[in-house]
Structure 1
Amino acid sequence: MIELINTSLTKYPLMTAFATVGFIIWVSYLLAKLTNNRVHGSAIAIVIGLILAYVGGITTGGKKGISDVALFSGFALMGGSMLRDFAIVSTAFGARLDELKKAGLAGAVALVVSATLATMIGAAAAYAFGYTDPVDMATIGGGTVTFIVGPVTGAALGASSEVIALSVAAGVVKSIAVMILTPFLAKPAGLTTPAAAAVYGGLMGTTSGVAAGLAATDPKLVPYGALTATFYTGFGCLVVPSIGYMVLLALFG
């Protein structure tokens, strides 16, 4: 029986990946209840995923985390860019444009200022730790914008895999921090309306972090924060490898 189950799971790796993620999400939301949902289930699930990726990489000596284990090879597709981009775009559905218009200029300014500051902070941290090449600084700065902007910047500029990995790590840390802190800071910050959520999405930028944080605050706010956060990611992918890199090259090249 065990051999039959193992053969079935290995034969359909993508289905195994979906079933595994479903189980992790179920466990994560049970754990979230222990914190009275102050720590959102998504944040716990991401931490569990990172642990499994680390264990998979250490166990197999591979470079693709848990997907290097034959039983979980379906994660290579499930965690790929196609499903990732679909998930990002889908979070914005359900937003009402008339509510988004209320964010207006404030949302646009928040997006530009936040992306600029995030790049500067990431580049400064990279420089402080010895990554003084403008390509490395731009890549790690992009990762501080979001963990998608970092790899896009690194691929465009020809950064090393080590630096790209650091940029992803910076973005993941930011995402988890936003997930955890949003429910605690929502009321003091006045994060109670769709317009405020839209500005917040443009300010924080991390789609996964904003969506999970707002879900723990008020699920109705999720589409508004997610939409501007998605724009933030696209904006960063356009600006950081071009303008951001040229500025860093002029200063440190």
Structure 2
Amino acid sequence: MIDINLERLSHLLEANSLLVAFAVVGIVMWFSNMISSRLTRGRIHGSAIAIIIGLLLAYWGGLTTGGHKGLSDVPVLSGIGLMGGAMLRDFAIVATACEVDIERAKRAGLVGTIALVLGTVLPFIFGACLAWAFGFRDAVSISTIGAGAVTYIVGPVTGAALGAAPVIVTLSIAIGVVKAILVMIATPMAARFISLDNPRTAMVFGGMMGTVSGVTAGLAATDRRLVPYGALTATFHTGLGCLLAPSILYFTVLAVIH
């Protein structure tokens, strides 16, 4: 009887895998926020803790199933693959930016544009130098890892466009995730020193840092009212990186190493 009930429950969860995914993510976020408030007093945002937990769960899922998609290889948790896909991710980013006051956004002006360009080029250079320091000498690998330092979305997009090896794409994602976590943790600590207390500086900050998840979580821990403004330029930053990294920046790397 117990086996039959468990089989029915498993079938029910698999049939509603997307709802299960939302429930699991909700539980992880609740647990992460509890750790954030009780152990770090909010200094480390719950999103940063949730990302670490998510990476550990993905690693466990891969080990357990022998698959390549983390937890989504577990039949009951297959909905996580859809929930974590590009469609819902982009929808969430656009929904966040919809809260922006256009008149305030215009005040960023030229400074915001410069921050956007520098926030794309400088991390790319850093990532490319890091790749070179670790022994990579081909333009595709260097550009892909450099793009990962822009954001963990730009890295795989660039790698796919240039035909990079899967291990290189994985490294580009890893460096982008590390950057996102560092931005999450450092933003509340640095906010007072960089006057991160108004929409204009939030937009400049989003343009310089670039990582949408890092910027939004960091600003949420600093001042929730600034989240839409930082997310707006961070979103443009991702798009700009996807345009520049596999084209102009790649050809620049190609010219430099040859």
TM-score normalised by the chain length of structure 1: 0.97
Partner of 2:24: 20
Distance 2:68 2:75 in 1: 13
Q: Is residue 76 of structure 1 aligned with residue 81 of structure 2?
A: yes
Counterpart Cα distance in 2 of 1:132 and 1:64: 29
Counterpart mapping for 1:62-73 below 5 A: 62-73=67-78
Q: In structure 1, what is the Cα distance between the partners aligned to 2:94 and 2:239?
A: 11
Q: Which amino acid in the other structure matches residue 16 of structure 2?
A: Y
Task: Read off the aligned partner of 1:9 and give its amino acid letter.
Answer: L
Any idea what SS the aligned residue of 2:43 has? coil
> 1:247 corresponds to which residue?
252
Over the matched positions of the two proteins, sequence identity in percent amounts to 56
* Within-5 A mapping of 1:116-127: 116-127=121-132
Gaps of 5+ in 1: none
Question: Which secondary structure does the structure 2 equivalent of 1:226 belong to?
Answer: helix
Alignment match, 2:141: 136
The whole-number CA distance in structure 1 between the counterparts of 2:171 and 2:162 is: 15
1:195 corresponds to which of 183, 196, 200: 200
| Structure 1 position 4, deviation (Å) | 3.5
Q: TM-score, normalised by structure 2?
A: 0.95
1:51 is aligned to 56
* Inter-partner Cα distance in structure 1 for 2:10 and 2:66: 22
Q: Secondary structure at the match of 1:91?
A: helix
1:71-109 deviation digits (Å, cap 9, x = unpaired):
211111111111111122222111111111111111111
CA distance in 2, matches of 1:241, 1:33: 41
1:157 corresponds to: 162
Structure 2 unpaired stretches of 5+: none
Kindly provide the CA deviation profile for residues 209-244 of structure 1, in whole angstroms up to 9, marking residues without a partner as x: 000000000000000000000010011010111000
Residue of structure 2 in register with 1:7 after alignment? 11
Between 1:226-235 and 1:58-67, the stretch displaced more is: 58-67
- Matched with 2:182 is 177
Distance, in Å, in 1 between the alignment partners of 2:148 and 2:94 is 20
How many matched pairs? Answer: 253
What corresponds to 1:33 in structure 2? 37
What is the CA RMSD across the aligned residues, in angstroms? Answer: 1.1
Supply the distance in 2 between the matched residues of 1:7 and 1:241 (Cα, whole angstroms). 44
Q: Which moved more, 1:200-209 or 1:91-100?
A: 91-100
Following TM superposition, the consecutive aligned residue runs of length 4 or more in structure 1 with deviations greater than 6 angstroms are none
